[in-house]
Amino acid sequence: MNASSPASSAAAPAAAARLIHRAQAPAGPAPAAALLEPAMAGAIGEAAAPVSLTLDYGAPLVAGEAVTVESWVERGTRTLVFVHGRVLKGDGALAATGSAVFRRLDAAAPA
């Protein structure tokens, strides 16, 4: 699936099929990473291992705060899947955006 990269605002990417779920920010030093990596993996819909994860932080999260986590597949090849995601605070403020590359565990999977 193709989608444009998320802008620095909280506007949703155009025409993207997104996996969206509600969550609470976990305690710890990197709650956005703890939320985004599994959400982006889940958007792939098949077994895949992370190769690269890049995060850009916005508004800080507080442990237990209600958030919305969105993730979508940008594109895929025979062996790799390129995924984007973001974490939105309850008031819609952008807490973090992320991009990741995952290696398909079944390299015979279609692109």
pLDDT tens digit sequence for 39-85: 999 999 889 999 999 999 998 888 889 999 999 999 999 999 999 99
**What are the structure tokens assigned to 80, written together?**
């790799």
- Tell me, yes or no, if the pTM score tops 0.75: no
Q: Which CATH topology does 24-104 take?
A: Thiol Ester Dehydrase; Chain A (3.10.129)
DSSP state of 38: H
**What are the structure tokens assigned to 103, written together?**
């290696």
Question: What is the C-alpha separation between 39 and 108, in angstroms, rounded?
Answer: 23
Structural contact between residues 77 and 102, judged by C-beta atoms closer than 8 angstroms: no
- Of the CA atoms within 13 Å of residue 28, those in its CB half-sphere come to 9
Question: What is the C-alpha separation between 103 and 14, in angstroms, rounded?
Answer: 25
